[in-house]
Amino acid sequence: MPRFALLIEYDGGPFAGWQAQSDQPSVQGAIEAALARLDPGFAAGARIAAAGRTDAGVHATGQVAHADLARDWDPFRLSEALNWHLKPAPVAILAAARVGDEFHARFSARERRYSFRLIARRAPVTHERGRVWQVQNPLDAEAMRAGAAHLVGLHDFTTFRSTMCQSKSPVKTLDQIDIEALAIPQGWEYRFHLRARSFLHNQVRSIVGTLERVGAGSWPPERVAEALAARDRAACGPVCPPQGLYLTGVGYPEAPFP
| Structure confidence by residue, pLDDT tens digits, 139-157 | 999 999 999 999 999 999 9
Q: All domains of the chain, ordered by start, with CATH?
A: 3-108 (3.30.70.580), 111-249 (3.30.70.660)
Q: Are strands 91-99 and 245-251 parallel, antiparallel or unpaired?
A: unpaired
Kindly state the average pLDDT of the residues 171-189: 97
Please choose, from the candidates 252, 258, 246, the residue with its C-alpha nearest in 3D space to the C-alpha of residue 104.
252
* 84 Cβ contact list (under 8 Å, min separation 6): none
pLDDT band at 237 (very low <50, low <70, confident <90, very high): very high
Pairwise CA distance, residues 234 & 221, whole Å: 18
User: Does residue 114 have a known ligand-binding role?
Assistant: yes
- Model confidence at 166, in pLDDT bands (50, 70, 90)? confident
Do residues 147 and 132 touch, judged by C-beta distance below 8 A? Answer: no
Distance from C-alpha of 172 to C-alpha of 156, rounded to nearest angstrom: 7
Q: What type of residue is 134?
A: Q
Catalytic residue among 11, 39, 55, 175: 55
Active site residue 68: no
Q: Which amino acid is at 21?
A: Q
Task: Classify 149 as helix, strand or coil.
Answer: helix
pLDDT in tens, 13-48: 999 999 999 899 999 999 999 999 999 999 999 999
Model confidence at 109, pLDDT cuts 50, 70, 90, reads very high
pTM of the model: 0.96
